[in-house]
Amino acid sequence: MADKIVQVTNIYKQYRVGEVIIDALRGIDLEIEHGDFSVIQGSSGSGKSTLLHIIGCVDVPTSGRVMINGIDTVNLKSDRLAGLRLHTIGFVFQHFYLLPMLTAYENIELPMKEARVPKTKRKERVLDLLESVELSDRADHRPGQLSGGEQQRVAIARALANDPPLILADEPTGELDSITGSRILKLLAELNQEFGKTTIIVTHDENLSKKANRIIKIRDGRIVSDAR
């Protein structure tokens, strides 16, 4: 196992909008150790979500190097990259992105189907995850039948389905009221403290920042502070 689960070196990311080139990231260097609970903060357009998506291998940098759990991801073939995302990274999004036609059980089960986990093991794992997020009685409910907080807890359980060592969350409380958001923050903190999940969260939520052991601030595509 690599000492650092995330190693980002001299990352640049540019987007072209018409004739205009936008520099989203400008020479980012970042290392995250196994077991860290890190928060990335910055104003809208600062590049924080772009950085998280590059770490999560759902976007690629214009230049630079991204190592995830000791694997260089930038030039990785698509099948190996998909396997890395499936087994190493769990993503939690602001808008949940649950499949509306599937039940909570089926949404959580889906990553395990993709990983070809046997059906009996899938069932055991899904039931355990539903219990851990206190939704055992909502297993047969579809997303439209769940509250926002319940949907986010299903999304967290789905992110944990294949037991990845790295959890990435992009504004996980952004769609939730303060009380429900606090419950989600508590759950994310427990995943880090009790199960050792390396957790990186992009957020504006100051309450979440208080739970982190590291706060990384980004402005104009650059890291401007990194405090433990």
What is the tens place of the pLDDT at every residue in 206-228?
766 677 889 999 999 999 999 88
pTM of this prediction exceeds 0.95: no
d(CA 107, CA 97): 10
pLDDT grade for 176, boundaries at 50, 70 and 90 = confident
Please state, as a whole number, how many other Cβ atoms lie within 10 Å of the Cβ of residue 71. Answer: 14
Q: What is the pLDDT of residues 79-102, one digit of tens each?
A: 899 999 999 999 998 889 999 999
d(CA 127, CA 136): 7
Whether the CB-CB separation of 13 and 47 falls below 8 Å is answered with yes
Domains present along the chain, CATH in parentheses = 36-46+77-227 (3.40.50.300)
Measured N-to-C along each axis, helices 119-132 and 104-114 cross at an angle, to the nearest 10 degrees, of 130
The tokens for 152 are: 């986010």
Q: What is the DSSP letter of 11?
A: E
Are 104 and 139 in contact by the 8 Å Cβ rule? The answer is: yes
Q: Are strands 37-41 and 214-219 parallel, antiparallel or unpaired?
A: parallel
Average pLDDT on 160-171 reads: 95
Q: Go through the chain and tell me how many residues it has.
A: 228
CB 219 within 8 A of CB 207: no
Whether the per-residue pLDDT at 135 is higher than 60: the answer is yes
Query: Do 172 and 188 form a contact (C-beta atoms < 8 A)?
Result: yes
One-letter identity of residue 188: L
Residues 6+ apart with CB under 8 A from 92: 152, 155, 156, 159, 167, 168, 169, 170, 172, 188
Structure tokens at 58: 């759902």
Look at residue 177 in the predicted model and tell me its pLDDT: 87
Q: What's the chain's average pLDDT? A: 92
